[in-house]
Amino acid sequence: MTRPAYLSGVIEGFYGRPWRHDQRLALFPRLAAWGFTSYVYAPKDDIKLRARWREPYDDLELAALAALVAGCAAHGVRFGYAIAPCLDVRYAEDAEVERLVTKVDQLVDLGARDVLLLFDDVPHRLDDASRARFGRLAQAQAHLSERLFDHLRSRVPDGRRIVCPTDYCRRMADASGDAWGYLRTLGERLGPDVDVCWTGDEIVSERIDAASVADVADVLGRRPVIWDNLHANDYDLRRLYLGPVAGRSADLVDATAGFLTNPNTPFEVNDVAFATLAAYLADPVGYDPARAWERALEAWRPAFAVDGGDELTEAELRLLAEHCYLPWSSGPLVEALLDDARDVIDAPPDASDPRLGRVRSHAHDVERLLERLTELTDRDLLYALYGVVWEARTESRALAEYLDHRAGGGAPQRFGRPDHLANTYRRGFAADVQALLPLDRDGRVAVPTAKDSR
């Protein structure tokens, strides 16, 4: 059987506010320009995609979806529709299959060809009737999938059929306790034309290479499609990720059947994620994350027009992106600044230490950056960035003032921000819980031993 072409593009697969209709339509020509093949409609909080998946779309909803299908087609981009019945589907009831087919047929009637069936983010649990009929989750899911896909094979033989399994990363597969039996059964029972999604070793994987997907490819009997959560921020909405695609090896593309990025929830901040992924897929061997990042930032800079016809400078945009880099680190310049601050704190107080000046200068630059952003003509872009930059400004000032306070011999005193009312700074439930937990610098909870607790 001839395998379809390599799948590449964007999956709107996050939790939170879905993108607007006009934003999606604006995205499609850009996907084509970047060389991507596909857009997948999969917002978890489209209530009729997941929570109320049985309910048909009404005429207004269908008209909007039809416009998306047509918009993709106009630019040579494939439209994929995802449905996620896994919260409450009753696998043993044949009527549930009919409901699923009826719902998906609404999209097929509009011209959609690619369909994804999502079983992610649910426990390994079956209702009593499904357990009696199928025994285990993989058998039940394969049955439901193949019933739907058999229907689609006749209706849209040129369409792609894709499953996102419940165990969609190595850590989940290892933790399931059955030596990857769930994935093996799924691979054995799904048709050879069905693709399966995989996020790597983790839900958000720092590195993915051919060796790391070899086991799952062998278990599934097919190369996986990478569902990449590198730039997804729906698990920590205080953060944004404006760094480049990194940690994806040159040999990964040949070891997979496709690569879809699941990006930041705010639509306005994903240019770097998309542009650097396009650069990586176009030339995995020659891809340089730092160079691709710089080019992506420069291409994005016109979006940062400010009143008066100016735009953010290259240095200002880089400062922004350095503060919102990747899940495991800030950008290189900000990491160097943090190293300076750590070294100052670990050393005896010294008012002449030149690193104090660098921390003060950084705080001033971030304050100026926030001022500049408030002048953006694209207010949606401003509001997508506002929270993270405001926090960066507040914490940069606090760090600079604390280090100056300490260097001046004020360390024994209680340091406080003079512009914050007492008992308001860094408060709220999340901050209070974080203060209770003994976290190390890597964010791990240091659980005390029995000896430590005595």
Distances (CA, A) of 86 to 70, 117, 159: 28, 9, 22
**Whose CA is closest to 31, among 385, 270, 302, 294?**
270
C-alpha–C-alpha distance, residues 197 and 162, integer Å: 7
Interatomic CA distance for residues 225 and 165, integer angstroms: 11
Q: Which amino acid is at 56?
A: P
CA distance 77 to 349: 59
**Sequence-distant (≥ 6) Cβ neighbours of residue 7 within 8 angstroms:** 37, 38, 160, 195, 225, 257, 258, 259, 260
Task: Report the alpha-carbon distance of residue 229 to residue 260 in Å, rounded.
Answer: 9
Among 121, 127, 234, 353, the active-site one is 121
Residue type, 234: D
Tokens of 448: 């005390």
Residue type, 355: R
- Cα 405 from chain centroid (whole Å): 39
Q: What is the DSSP letter of 81?
A: E
Contact call for residues 263 and 40 (beta carbons, < 8 A): no
Rounded to 5°, angle at Cα 124 from 121 and 126: 115
Q: Which two tokens stand for residue 94?
A: 């044949």
Question: Pseudo-torsion of CA 103, 108, 113, 115, nearest 10°?
Answer: 0
361 backbone φψ class: left, alpha, beta (φ>0; ψ -120 to 50)? alpha
Do the Cβ atoms of 17 and 264 come closer than 8 Å? no
User: Quick check: 297 and 319 in contact, CB under 8 A?
Assistant: no
Written as one letter, the residue type at 422 is A
Q: For residue 136, count CB atoms less than 10 angstroms from its CB and return exposed for 0-12, middle for 13-18, buried for 19 or more.
A: middle
Per the annotation, the verdict on 121 as an active-site residue is yes
For residue 230, the 8-state DSSP code is T
| Residues with catalytic roles | 121
